[in-house]
Amino acid sequence: MITSNPFAELSVLIPPAVMQAYVILMVLAVIGGTLLDIRHKKSAKYFFEKGQSLKQFALREVNRAEKIRIAVSTLTNEVLASGEFENPDRRKSHLLLMYGFVVFVATTAVMIFDLPAAAGDGSFIAPLLWHLGAVSICVGGAWFWFKIRVDVRAEGHEWHDVHLSDLFVVSLVLMAMFALVWSVLQAAGGGVLAGIAFFIFITAATTLFSTVFWSKFAHMFFKPAAAFQKKVSEADGSLDKLPDLPELTDPVVKERYPDIPEYMGEKPPYMGLGIKREAPSHY
């Protein structure tokens, strides 16, 4: 079952051209929603203006080679490894959702644009990855919804307390869940239940991709930009307009801030790890 293309059997009822047109329409919906989000929130303008303003505080110029290194670091850490999440549970949940989503969407497109094909034809790899991607989304979504989201140290919501801000994760998990249910029921002979599962699957998918403007979908494009800009500001010394944390025992610092000994003594004590004194248990 998990190695057969579920859309091949569906093509008996729905022409492949219709399914392919739907995929293209959803891609256009994501692009359009993202552009509307950028225009509404002025995200691109914000990042550009902030980057220009930080140049006034830069202590050195970051060359192209260093920017490429920072971009690669951002890609490998913040994007591919979700390194911004200090909470290991949150990171694992996010990675399951992210990679499951990417694999699920990519293999959906591959299987649909591989049509027309008879059931059982073609490679088994795409259908296998499609099912595994859907399972990954369901596991990551359940982990987030029933373990992390309900934790009072994070959001503290009851599992049944759904908000508009949950539109992305709810539609994502419903899409993957009912895609699996539809695939199983269709392999078992189809029928009314398979049709209902397919309807919910498509409804959830349409909701997910057509509501980018109102959901958290678009933030996946902005987070890497914010992380890259932050690393550049650290490299050029502008520090995002935040003050540097000097070594208080440094004679130069004492000369600049002569009242340090008055408040903290000649040898200011080590103040400890602060917020990093314990492993994070929230986001």
pLDDT one-digit tens code per residue, 158-183: 878 888 778 889 999 999 999 999 99
| Mean per-residue pLDDT, 183-187 | 93
Q: For residue 259, which amino acid is it?
A: D
pLDDT for 278: 66
Q: For residue 56, which amino acid is it?
A: Q
Is residue 4 within 8 A of residue 119, CB to CB? The reply is yes
pLDDT for 183: 95
Q: What is the distance in angstroms between the CA of the first residue and the CA of the last residue of the chain?
A: 38
pLDDT for 119: 47
Split at pLDDT 50, 70, 90, the class of 101 is very high
DSSP element (H, E) containing 202: helix 192-210
Q: Does residue 214 carry a pLDDT above 60?
A: yes
| Mean per-residue pLDDT, 62-78 | 91
DSSP element (H, E) containing 265: none
Closest CA to 128 of 5, 273, 283, 257: 5
Instruction: Pinpoint the alpha helices (H) of 144-218.
Output: 167-187, 192-210
Distance CA 178, CA 189 (A): 16
pLDDT for 175: 97
pLDDT for 206: 96
- Listed in sequence order, the residues at least 6 apart from 217 whose beta carbon sits closer than 8 Å to its beta carbon are 30, 33, 34, 168, 208, 209, 211
Split at pLDDT 50, 70, 90, the class of 204 is very high
Instruction: Take residue 26 and report the two structure tokens written for it.
Output: 């959803």
